[in-house]
């Protein structure tokens, strides 16, 4: 059974912010100098040109879609999300996320190459008392217990879209699509983020209470998301029995 995993001939992570072709204007601290431009019908060649090299593909979308952006289809501006321009139709991130998942799967079903595709659902952030750019932090040192935390509305909406699109798409012939629903598992792990330590020695030369940017979105490694790998391996092993 494990043999099929050893036959993977490449491992690679492609970081495409939106899965789709996009022009972004952000620095490493997430500070934007322009509004992101996102092509909802053009899968990003960063991943599509490598697609045929892989037997197993894990796809995830999530948080970038919440940012303000201009949306293009067929190279034409069709609307935006939070662009504060009264002349451009507000379509909402839900519209863009559905389209992007649709375009991703349309590409996959249209390709002759048929890998096993795992769709990993979104992982909530754990900012408290603010967002990433308004002093939010995450300093909890233990997981939540079941029922101790509720998912934020926006994360819930995103997760619902993922489940709905997955249900629709898995019915399409010719694609082996599996769901890794990582959302609730991840919700319970506020203790798994870098927090203040998104940079080396964040307090060097500063007072320990000084205001620094925290990261309560990305995950530490080793950390909770290692369990995603365990779950994926378990899914493959089960299927090969």
Residue ranges of alpha helices (H) inside 70-171 are: 92-110, 153-169
Q: Is 138 helix (H, G, I), strand (E, B) or coil?
A: coil
| CB of 19 vs ligand NAG, minimal distance in Å | 13
Task: Say which DSSP state 218 is in.
Answer: S
Closer to ligand NAG by CB, 159 or 228: give it: 159
Alpha-carbon distance 215 to 152, whole Å? 17
Alpha-carbon distance values, 132 to 99, 174, 216 (Å): 27, 41, 8
Return the range that interacts with ligand NAG (CB under 6 A); candidates 4-12, 14-22, 53-61, 168-176. Answer: 168-176
Asked whether 149 and 187 are in contact (CB, 8 A), the reply is: yes
Token digits for 192? 């798994």
Alpha-carbon distance 145 to 128, whole Å? 17
| CB of 68 vs ligand NAG, minimal distance in Å | 14
Residue 177 burial by Cβ neighbours in a 10 Å radius (0-12, 13-18, 19+): middle
Judged by CB under 6 A, does residue 87 bind ligand NAG? yes
Judged by CB under 6 A, does residue 7 bind ligand NAG? no
For ligand NAG, the binding residue among 29, 50, 133, 139 (CB under 6 A) is: 139
Judged by CB under 6 A, does residue 141 bind ligand NAG? yes
Return the range that interacts with ligand NAG (CB under 6 A); candidates 4-12, 79-87, 212-220, 221-229. Answer: 79-87
Chain centroid to CA 163: how far? 14
Closer to ligand NAG by CB, 121 or 236: give it: 121
Binding mask 23-52 for ligand NAG (x = CB under 6 A): ------------------------------
Judged by CB under 6 A, does residue 105 bind ligand NAG? yes
Chain positions contacting ligand NAG, by CB under 6 A? 74, 85-87, 102, 105-106, 109, 139, 141, 168-169, 172
């Amino acid at each position: 059974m494990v043999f099929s995993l050893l036959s993977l001939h490449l491992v690679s992570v492609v970081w495409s912010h939106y899965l789709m072709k996009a022009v972004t204007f952000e620095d490493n601290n997430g500070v934007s100098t322009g509004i992101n431009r996102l092509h909802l019908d053009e899968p990003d060649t960063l991943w599509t040109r490598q697609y045929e090299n892989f037997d197993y593909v894990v796809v995830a979308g999530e948080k970038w879609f919440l940012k303000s952006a201009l949306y293009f289809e067929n190279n034409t501006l069709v609307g935006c999300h939070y662009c504060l321009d009264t002349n451009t139709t507000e379509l909402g991130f839900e519209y863009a996320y559905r389209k992007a998942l649709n375009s991703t799967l349309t590409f996959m079903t249209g390709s002759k190459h048929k890998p096993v595709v795992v769709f990993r659902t979104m992982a909530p952030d754990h900012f408290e008392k603010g967002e990433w750019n308004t002093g939010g932090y995450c300093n909890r040192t233990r997981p939540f217990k079941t029922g101790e935390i509720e998912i934020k509305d926006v994360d819930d909406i995103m997760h619902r879209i993922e489940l709905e699109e997955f249900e629709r798409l898995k019915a399409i012939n010719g694609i082996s699509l599996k769901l890794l629903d990582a959302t609730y598992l991840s919700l319970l792990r506020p203790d798994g983020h870098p927090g203040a330590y998104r940079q080396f020695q964040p307090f060097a030369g500063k007072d320990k209470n000084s205001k620094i940017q925290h990261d309560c979105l990305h995950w530490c490694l080793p950390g909770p998301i290692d369990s995603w790998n365990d779950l994926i391996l378990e899914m493959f092993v089960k299927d090969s029995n």
